[in-house]
């Protein structure tokens, strides 16, 4: 028997269910218990996440601290996380044993009126709880106003409908799909509809690990680690390891305005051999409205080396005259 720990949000519970289903398929007869744990980020929805982290002394991981404490104390055996919520460098006593098959990495702009990003009127207000999304949006549409948004996914969508002063909302596509709220170009929640536009990940670069669900275990728990490894998606793990390596080299926390995306090259991808890993990143420096950008490709097995090349490329692109 193993005990899974999860946040109590609607999305957290769905993702815990995904983990349970995968584990039962790999290990028929495995007894699984679920424990819901409220995190610092769940309790403090009245202020921006950056302020929650500062107030609690958590420069990283406002959605994982309590889950890791439960792991450490043996109250749970596996913590189920949205991987993008996890710091790029874990404490030595914790290990990501598996990543489930990754869903869409894209962000979605939800609006009350048709037209998407181009259709928003000048000076319109868009809500988001992510500094990355805020900075990317402002780089594409400097005329737009951006306001903070906290709460679980259905709550944020409800606030969009209720607040006359808010015209749009940015959320991850993966969460909308997993909650069954995305229906073609519409977001349907609590009997109301809004319009959805998928944002191109080449321009609106996602967060590291976005769309991925991670299973975290105690480093020394070989038994549970082996159980989880049976459900690991190797390609997803390869890609997110490279993305997280880039964040670690950059020294980026969860509230750093950085986007990084990797993908395995296919036959029709120019400039890369099939099977190579393609990586692209954008990073916003303090006071700069436009991001530094970089892209590389190479052997995916060398995640650290590829991430280092990406960081070097990004820095070269940000120097005057380049």
Among candidates 292, 289, 318, 282, which has minimal Cα distance to 146?
A: 289
Six-digit token string for 320:
């005057």
Tokens 């048709």 belong to which residue? 114
pTM score? 0.89
Domains 2-100+212-232 and 107-198 share a fold: yes
Residue 250 has pLDDT above 80, yes or no: yes
CB distance 61 to 86 below 8 Å: yes
* 85 is annotated as an active-site residue: yes
Residue 45 has pLDDT above 80, yes or no: no
Give 2-100+212-232's CATH code, choosing from 3.30.70.3170, 3.40.50.460, 3.40.190.10, 3.20.20.70: 3.40.190.10
Among candidates 56, 90, 75, which has minimal Cα distance to 6?
A: 75
Q: Where are the domains of the chain?
A: 2-100+212-232, 107-198
d(CA 85, CA 60) in angstroms, rounded, equals: 9
Q: What is the CATH number of domain 107-198?
A: 3.40.190.10
Six-digit token string for 238:
């390869």
pLDDT, tens only, 135-150: 999 999 999 999 998 8
Residue 286 has pLDDT above 90, yes or no: no
Helix (H) or strand (E) holding 36: strand 32-36
Among candidates 46, 283, 55, which has minimal Cα distance to 148?
A: 46
SS3 289: coil
Looking at 77, 85, 107, 221, which residue is catalytic?
Answer: 85
């Amino acid at each position: 028997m193993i005990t899974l720990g999860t946040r109590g949000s609607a999305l957290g519970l769905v993702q815990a269910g995904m983990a349970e289903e995968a584990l039962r398929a790999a290990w028929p007869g495995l007894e699984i218990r679920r424990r819901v744990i409220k995190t610092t980020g769940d309790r403090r929805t009245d202020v921006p996440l950056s302020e929650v982290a500062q107030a609690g002394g958590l420069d990283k991981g406002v959605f994982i601290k309590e889950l890791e404490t439960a792991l450490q104390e043996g109250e749970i055996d596996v913590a189920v996380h949205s991987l993008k919520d996890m710091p790029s460098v874990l404490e030595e006593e914790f290990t990501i044993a598996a990543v489930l098959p990754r869903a869409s990495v894209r962000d979605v702009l939800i609006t009350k009126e048709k037209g998407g990003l181009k259709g928003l009127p000048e000076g319109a207000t868009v809500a988001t709880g992510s500094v990355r999304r805020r900075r990317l949006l402002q780089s594409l549409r400097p005329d737009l106003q951006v306001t903070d948004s906290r709460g679980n996914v259905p709550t944020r969508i409800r606030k969009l409908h209720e607040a006359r002063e808010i015209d749009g909302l940015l959320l991850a596509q993966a969460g909308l799909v997993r909650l069954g709220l995305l229906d073609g170009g519409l977001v349907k929640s609590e009997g109301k509809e809004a319009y959805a536009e998928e944002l191109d990940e080449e321009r609106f670069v996602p967060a590291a690990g976005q769309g991925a669900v991670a299973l975290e275990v105690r480093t020394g728990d070989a038994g549970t680690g082996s159980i989880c490894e049976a459900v690991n998606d190797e390609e997803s793990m390869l890609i997110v390891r490279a993305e997280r390596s880039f964040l670690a080299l950059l020294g980026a926390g969860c509230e750093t305005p950085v986007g990084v995306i990797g993908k395995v090259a296919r036959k029709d991808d120019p400039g890369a051999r099939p099977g190579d890993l393609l990586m692209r990143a954008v990073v916003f420096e303090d006071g700069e409205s436009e991001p530094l950008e970089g892209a590389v490709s190479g052997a995916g097995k060398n995640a650290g080396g590829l991430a280092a090349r990406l960081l070097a490329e990004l820095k070269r692109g940000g120097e005057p005259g380049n």
